[in-house]
Structure 1
Amino acid sequence: MTRLADSCDYAFAQAHYTPQRLWDFFDGDRARFNIAHECIDRHAAEPARLAVRVAHADGRDEFITFRAIAEASSRIAHWLRARGVQPGDRVAVMLDPSLPFYAAMFGAMKCGAIAVPLFTLFGPDGVRLRVADCAPRVLLTNAEKAPAGAGIAGTETVIADASFMEALAAFPGTYKPETGADDLALFQYTSGTTRELPAAVKHTHRSVVVLMLAALYGTGVRPGDEFFCPSSPAWGHGLAHGTLAPLAMGVTTGTYAGRFDPVRLMQALQDYGITNLSSASTHYRMMRTSGAAGRFRFAIRKLSYTGEPIDAETLRFIDETFGVPACSMYGTTEVGVALVNYPGASDFTVKPGSLGKAVPGLEVQVQRPDGSPAAPGEIGEIRLLRRGEWVPTKDLGRIDEEGYFYHAGRADDVIISAGWTMSAVEIEDVLMQHPDVREAAAIGVPDPVRGQVVKAFVVSPRQGDEDFARELQDFTRARLSQHEYPRQVAFTAELPKTPAGKINRKAIRDAEAARRVTA
């Protein structure tokens, strides 16, 4: 029987793809389905079969088997039920990639609870915003981050350290899931494009079925690949494409834990013999600017990126260093992956800078404001046809004469920096908590390494100098995330307003762009 994983080629995908064939990858069906079983338990029969390689920033390598995750997650499932956690309750997990992280996330889903992975660099405000939204019964974290969850009403904070894992031995190492395909399994937080404050994208257990589209044609994952994705599994790319999709196929995945270092990443790519790399655009830029790539030997055969476009110089670096085309993978957390470049396809030409073409079975258009299709070369909004309706992405784009899509900027106030999606309003809200800030506006400005960085414009009665700027940066970083703060701060007497009295970020962006042109 022909299976979708039998070939990477574009023509094969168009000829053989049907939605029903995605279900062929799984044991479950439209009635009974559990992500923990599909991604972990069914691959655990061989004790030594490797699930995850973790490259720690301190140089350690951690190799975790499917069997180890299956047993530890079953014990956590029993532990959660013993504490009164019921199906549908939320269990937040704020840990770096490690056995405790995977055991906690899959254990929560295994017992019917909803797993909520949280970024370990969130500060107190960042944690509380998300915890207040999802109201978890339990927050599993480490000793360093435990104070961020302390005192949150209705949430028990538990330190998932070595002694915690040892104590789990009192519980059985097997657990039979009883979830339905449409039961909620995951909340994944984003500062995305549909709300000004962090929004939880809610995934059912069956969502991993649709995710296989991105695995097959966005990252090109196939059995036999040695896969690696350095993005944090608390975010969409690292969770969906770096963790769930490859594990569902039984493919060993790799990830990064700790403060990012491009040299450490390249060491891991060499040592693990990685053949398929999917990364945020900024990771490639940082590898290039490190100047260290020539020290390593790579075995990369498929390579993809997401987050934002890659500059021409970094595209040249990828071509010279890895010898394979850089394949963009475009989508949003809310609607999934839509445009891909079919990594590994011998019959698909990858055009530098292009978003590629639609995944099989999905119709994508660049449309004018009235909903009519834009002509080749004409800029409009990228929209996806879902359940008979055109869904806006709030991204601008264009197509060429051959039907390839190109990104033309964002249509909202979301800022993407180094692959992280950040909310301008969330950053402004924190800045406004400072006693010396009267008004604040945040926008994204170009940066050669990160694509964009946050620039804050601040109105204050206090003198605006370098010391005050650093104070505001530290103030914001301590309350949101280590990456989520204004790397540039400008002080101004007033901010432009709309007729309704709201801060006009478009006017600020336009003025900043003009200033850069004349600078």
Structure 2
Amino acid sequence: MTRLTDYTSYADAQLHASSAGLWELFDGDREHLNIAHECITRHADGSGRAAVRLANADGSDAILSFDTISAGAAQFAHWLDKEGVQPGERIAFMLEPSLPFYVCLFGAMQTGAISVPLFTLFGPDALRLRVGDCNPTILITNAEKAELARSVEGPRVIVADDAFLASLSDLPTTYTPKTKANDMAVFQYTSGTTRELPEAVKHSHRTLVTLMFAALYGTGIRPGDEFFCPSSPAWGHGLWHGTLAPLAMGVTTGTFAGRFDPVRLMKALDDFKITNMSAAATHYRMMKNSGKGGDFQFHFKKLSFTGEPIDPATLDWIDETFKVPACSMYGTTEIGVVLVNYPGAEDFVVKPGSLGKPIPGQKLEVHRLDGSITDPGEIGELMLWRGGGWMTTKDRAKTDEDGYFYHCGRADDVIISAGWTMSAVEIENTMLRHDNVMECGVIGVPDEQRGQVVKAFVVANCAGSDALVKELQDFTRERLAQHEFPRIVEFVDELPKNPAGKVHRKMLRDREAAKAAEAATAWST
């Protein structure tokens, strides 16, 4: 029988892709499905075949087999049962990619508990908000983060070290999953929205099935690929596209653990002979800026990226260094991936800077304010047909004569920096807790390496100084996350306000754009 994974062309995707075809890729059905079984257990055949390759920041590698993860996940599932954890309870994980992470993630899913991955660089405020929102029964972390985890009221904290895994060794290494397809499997917090607390997106086990459209046509994963995704599995791209999608196809995936280093990444890509990589735009920029691309051998056949557009200079470097075009895939944690460039499809032309075309079954248009469709080249709001009506993506876009889509900026106050999505409101609210900050307005400003960086305009009750800038930066990232702080701080006497008295961020953005244009004009003359 021909399966969707047997087709690689754009034409075949339009002709054969269907919901029924996706279900044929799995053991489960519309009534009963379990992510852990589909991604791990059914591929554990005793052969020791690799499931995950880990490139650790310290230079070491680790290879985890389907057999090892399957056995450990079953033991952890039995342990949860012994501890009285019931289906529907939340189990949170604040772990780097590692054997404990995968064992706990998939073990919890087997029992019907809901897995909640949390970013390892969260500070106390960011962690407290998310734990308070999802109310996990257990919070699993490592020894380094244990003190921070225990400072948050509510969950029981477990340190998932070698001793903990050893304590599970007497438990059975097989487990029968308890879930139905529509049972909740994962609560995924976006890395930032316009709310103070990014909303948890709730995914059922059957989400894995619809995810496969993005896997087949956004990252181009097929059996036989040697896959790698350096994004953290705490976020949607790293978990769904980088971990669950390839494993569901029985494809070995790879990822990065620890503080990111672009040269270390390139060495891993060389050592593991990776043929297919999906990464954030900033990963590619950092590799380019390292100047070390020529030191390694690459084996790519497919490349994809997400999070933000890639600048033309980096796209040129990718073409020269990797000899394969980087294919954008566009979407959000809330709506999934909807625009792709079909990596590996020889009959699909990848246009530099384009978001590509819709995945099979999705309908998108660019609309004017009155709801009419824009002409090619005309900027409007990107709209997605969902649930019998048009919903906004909160992004501006345009199309060309060939039906390709192009991103033209955000329509709200979300800031995307180095692939991370951050909330202006969340950063402002944190900075306002500092004793010297009276008012604060936060926007994103262009940056050559990161796409955007956070800039804060601060009304202080004392004289501004370099020392105060550093203090405010440290204050913010210690309470939110290591990446979530203002890289630029400007002290001002007052902030523009709207009629309701709120900070007028659009005016701040317009002022910055005007200053940049003036500076560019002065430089050119």
Give 1:515's aligned amino acid. K
Q: Paired residue for 1:443?
A: 443
Q: Paired residue for 1:180?
A: 180
Superposed, which structure 2 residues align to 1:92-491 within 5 Å?
92-193=92-193, 195-491=195-491
Deviations 1:399-441 (A, max 9, x none): 0000000000000001111111111111111101111111111
Give 1:407's aligned amino acid. H
Q: In 1, Cα distance between the equivalents of 2:271 and 2:328? A: 25
Superposed, which structure 2 residues align to 1:31-70 within 5 Å?
31-70=31-70
Task: Give the deviation of 1:170 after TM superposition.
Answer: 2.5
Q: Is the 8 A contact 2:382 2:392 kept in 1?
A: yes
Q: In 2, Cα distance between the equivalents of 1:477 and 1:209? A: 36
Give 1:294's aligned amino acid. G
Q: Is the 8 A contact 2:191 2:235 kept in 1?
A: no
Q: In 2, Cα distance between the equivalents of 1:308 and 1:376? A: 22
Q: Is the 8 A contact 1:262 1:283 kept in 2?
A: yes
Deviations 1:278-329 (A, max 9, x none): 0000000000000000000000000001010000000000000011111000
Task: Give the deviation of 1:151 after TM superposition.
Answer: 4.2
Q: In 2, Cα distance between the equivalents of 1:490 and 1:223? A: 51
Q: Paired residue for 2:523?
A: none
Q: In 2, Cα distance between the equivalents of 1:386 and 1:196? A: 26
Identity %: 65
Q: Is the 8 A contact 1:129 1:198 kept in 2?
A: no
Q: In 1, Cα distance between the equivalents of 2:462 and 2:192? A: 33
What SS is found at the alignment partner of 2:143?
A: coil
What SS is found at the alignment partner of 2:105?
A: helix
Runs (4 or more) in structure 1 with deviation over 2 Å come to 151-154, 191-197
Q: In 2, Cα distance between the equivalents of 1:19 and 1:7? A: 15
Q: Is the 8 A contact 1:193 1:412 kept in 2?
A: no
Q: In 1, Cα distance between the equivalents of 2:196 and 2:361? A: 31
Q: In 2, Cα distance between the equivalents of 1:127 and 1:89? A: 18
Task: Give the deviation of 1:153 after TM superposition.
Answer: 3.3
Task: Give the deviation of 1:7 after TM superposition.
Answer: 2.0
Superposed, which structure 2 residues align to 1:84-95 within 5 Å?
84-95=84-95
Q: Is the 8 A contact 2:124 2:152 kept in 1?
A: no
What SS is found at the alignment partner of 2:421?
A: strand
Give 2:46's aligned amino acid. E
Q: Is the 8 A contact 2:477 2:483 kept in 1?
A: yes
Q: In 2, Cα distance between the equivalents of 1:441 and 1:84? A: 47
Which deviates further from its counterpart, 365-374 or 251-260?
365-374
Q: In 1, Cα distance between the equivalents of 2:235 and 2:280? A: 11
What SS is found at the alignment partner of 1:486?
A: coil
Q: Is the 8 A contact 1:74 1:174 kept in 2?
A: yes
Give 1:405's aligned amino acid. F
Q: Paired residue for 2:83?
A: 83
Task: Give the deviation of 1:80 after TM superposition.
Answer: 1.3
Task: Give the deviation of 1:196 after TM superposition.
Answer: 4.2
Give 1:179's aligned amino acid. T
Q: In 1, Cα distance between the equivalents of 2:286 and 2:183? A: 40
TM (normalized to structure 2)?
0.98
Q: In 1, Cα distance between the equivalents of 2:326 and 2:277? A: 10
Task: Give the deviation of 1:470 after TM superposition.
Answer: 0.3
Q: Is the 8 A contact 1:193 1:394 kept in 2?
A: no
Q: In 2, Cα distance between the equivalents of 1:329 and 1:196? A: 27
Q: In 1, Cα distance between the equivalents of 2:74 and 2:389? A: 41
Give 1:11's aligned amino acid. A
What SS is found at the alignment partner of 1:14?
A: helix
Q: In 1, Cα distance between the equivalents of 2:143 and 2:350? A: 46
Q: Is the 8 A contact 2:194 2:414 kept in 1?
A: no
Structure 1: any 5+ residue segments left out of the alignment? none
Give 2:106's aligned amino acid. F
